[in-house]
Amino acid sequence: MSETTRIADQLRRAFEGEAWHGPAVLEILNGVDAKTAATRPIDRVHSIWEIVLHIAVWDDAARRRMAGTVVQPTPDEDWPRITDFSEESWEKTKDHLVQTHKKLVAAVASFPASRLDDRVPGKQQDYYTFYYMLHGIAQHELYHAGQIAILKKV
């Protein structure tokens, strides 16, 4: 099994389930409705909905970077505004997250392991390789999964 296949598996586990640490992003989102997703139970903290959009932004950015595009989301792109708070819009948001993540996992699984030590386009730091970025994406998803779990309980 190649290293990129292993990384793709870790990304899938962090997002879908069977993660070593506990519940993955989708498992935590199970049962969250639009009202709960849009609520800010803690002042100056992002809502579940905002976090879900943010995760999708970075999954897409990583996939596009792997394709050679220089990507650095602006603050407004990084944390997109929600304008429609309906259940239908929430379902579309979750579907967008799932589809974006699936595209990332497929891209990682087919990414040549020989390129993992290559620097990500647009990044000047020597350490900012595809290996570093992809492991960072898994960490990012788990970090936000923890936030969502807490917000879901508040």
Structural domains of the chain, with CATH: 3-153 (1.20.120.450)
Identify the pLDDT of residue 95: 98
CA distance 21 to 84: 33
Identify the pLDDT of residue 154: 81
Token pair of 145 as six digits: 């999964």
The backbone torsions φ and ψ at residue 127, rounded to the nearest 5 degrees and listed phi first, read -75, -15
Q: What is the pTM of this model?
A: 0.96
Q: Give the residues of the chain that fall short of pLDDT 50.
A: none
| pLDDT one-digit tens code per residue, 10-36 | 999 999 999 888 899 999 999 999 999
Identify the pLDDT of residue 100: 98
How far is the CA of 64 from the CAs of 17, 68, 129, 144, in angstroms? 24, 7, 14, 21
CA torsion angle 60 137 77 61 (round to 10): -30
Token pair of 61 as six digits: 């950015």
